Amino acid sequence: MTRYSLRSMIGLVMVGTLAIAPPAFAQGRGAAADLDRADEANTAAVSDKAHESDGTDKAKSDKTNKADSDKADRTDKAKKAEKPATDETPAQGGAAQASGAPAAAAVQEERDDAVFDPAQPDFTLITLPTTLRLPRNKSSFRVTHRFTRALGEGSFGSLAEDFFGLDGGAQIGLEFRYGIWPGAQIGVQRTSDRTIQFFGQYDVKSQSGSFPVGIAAYASIDGTNNFKDSYSPALGAVISRTIHRHAAVYVAPIWVNNSNHEPSELVDDNDTLVVGVGARVRVHGGTYVVFELTPRASGYDPGVNGIGFGIEKRVGGHSFQLNFTNAFGTTMGQIAQGGPRNPNGDQNWYLGFNISRKFF
């Protein structure tokens, strides 16, 4: 019975073990299933996040590609706009450019006239005209002053007491000129001996790389007694050559009619050909030295041929010139008559000055 009982007990233990095992196995299988489901959820979340990241990257890529495409389109349009007209596309741009060319050239020309030329800072030397152009609708004003006390008259002490002629009389001139269109200017001048001169000048050809000189046509007429008597018309040219930015030389052949105010029946010559020559040299900054000579080549030539020299300082639009001349004349009719002679038949020297102001 003991052996049976032992066998029975072993059987019972085995049966109990089998009875208990299914729930444990089921619990183990449930935990495994939970782990599998968690892994699947994690895998799904990672997959969704990866898809979302892929979508964001794709959107960014699409946006970048679109920006690059827009930039390329703008570049192509700019190149097409800058591309000159060809035989296949002469187009309307060429016509528009051609129609706008004269206006652009005119604007350029007027703007260039206003640019300061250091070789030609003023419209005159001492009395002779230069080829400096006056911009359209701009103006300039000049005062000329010639003291009538001769520097060689009397002793030095007497001259000093008269403050080198400044205490004596003077012939004064006022001049105004105006630019009517590019290259053309007109003006009027009145001197204190009641002579009035009207003048005009036109730039025929400017100096350039292909043309060595500048040429301007000049015409004037002056009349005494406030333009009531003894009219003296003049016609000529001014030829200039600038040397870099430092100097300019001039030749001005000018014919003056009725330079002799006596009746034509009483005189042999009633006109004068003046061939003026001169130069202006810049010595430092806005400081210049000026020289001119106005010999009469033919015709009526009383007195002495005009000579003048001076020193000039430019400050902004102003020019101040101290000069020494052997004549008082500043209009063409006066220049043609030359300078006065002293009792010995020689020339006299006079102190004077010019002040000019450009309004541009």
- Can you name the residues that pair with 175 across neighbouring β-strands? 142, 189
Rounded mean pLDDT of 3-27?
Answer: 46
Beta-strand pair 271-284/229-243: unpaired
The ranges assigned to domains in the chain are: 1-84, 113-359
pLDDT of residue 256: 97
Rounded mean pLDDT of 60-77?
Answer: 54
- Under the banding of pLDDT at 50, 70 and 90, the label for residue 151 is confident
Rounded mean pLDDT of 80-92?
Answer: 41
Rounded mean pLDDT of 169-178?
Answer: 96
Dist CA 12 CA 23 (whole Å)? 18
pLDDT of residue 261: 79
- Which residue is it, tokens 């009746």? 263
Cβ–Cβ contacts within 10 Å for residue 99, how many? 9
Dist CA 286 CA 316 (whole Å)? 9
Rounded mean pLDDT of 7-21?
Answer: 48
Q: Yes or no: say if 282 and 288 are a contact pair by the CB < 8 Å rule.
A: yes
| Digit-coded pLDDT (tens) for 23-61 | 443 444 444 445 456 455 555 444 455 444 454 554 445
Rounded-to-5 percentages of helix, strand, coil across the chain: 35, 40, 30
pLDDT of residue 63: 52
**Superfamily per CATH, domain 113-359:** monomeric porin ompg (2.40.160.40)
Dist CA 189 CA 144 (whole Å)? 10
* Per-residue DSSP letter, 266: G
How many C-alpha atoms does 348 have within 13 Å on its Cβ side? 22
- Under the banding of pLDDT at 50, 70 and 90, the label for residue 343 is confident
Q: Annotate 120-156 with DSSP letters as a single string.
A: --SSBSSSSB------TT-EEEEEEEEE-S-TTSS-H
pLDDT of residue 97: 47
